[in-house]
Structure formats: C-alpha cells, structure tokens
Amino acid sequence: MLQEQDGPRVSVSYKGSWERECLNLTELARLRWVEGWKVLRLADYYGISKTAVKERLRAIKKNPDRGFG
C-alpha cells in the first residue's frame, strides 16, 4: 500500500537548479569576450542552457556599468 506524503514534492532536476550558485558575471564576460569562448562552451562549463548564457550576456551588455563582480 502506498502512503501519501504531506507537503510539496520537488523533483531532483528542479532542486538542482535552485541550489546552483549565482554565476560570476565578470568571469562570464571575460571568458566570452576576452578569452573568446563560444556560448556552447560556456553553457557546458557552467552547467546551464545556451539560452541562459545568452540572457546573462545580454544583461551584461545592457548594463555594462553595473559592476558585475
């Protein structure tokens, strides 16, 4: 017999993404524009999607004086 558990359930894939540390955007910018890394390489390195890398790079370009570090 299966027993229902009380409380919310979190899948492992979501739990992993929630626990991920914030990216160092200064390092991301350096790797992309100084070292010349491709978006796919950055995505693999950080363990995020290419779309997520592109969104962060777009945010850096939009606010270059924000002081990412």
**Domain coordinates of the chain in residue numbers?**
23-62
Task: List pLDDT tens digits, range 44-57.
Answer: 999 999 999 999 99
Q: Which of 18, 28, 37 is nearest to 59 (CA)?
A: 28
Decide: 28 and 57 in contact? Cβ < 8 Å.
yes
Collect all residues with Cβ–Cβ distance below 8 Å to 45 and sequence separation of at least 6: 31, 37
Confidence of residue 12 (pLDDT cuts 50, 70, 90): very low
Q: Which of 66, 65, 37, 43 is nearest to 55 (CA)?
A: 43
Average pLDDT of the segment spanning 16-23: 58
Q: Which of 34, 35, 69, 32 is nearest to 54 (CA)?
A: 32
Q: What is the pLDDT of residue 14?
A: 44
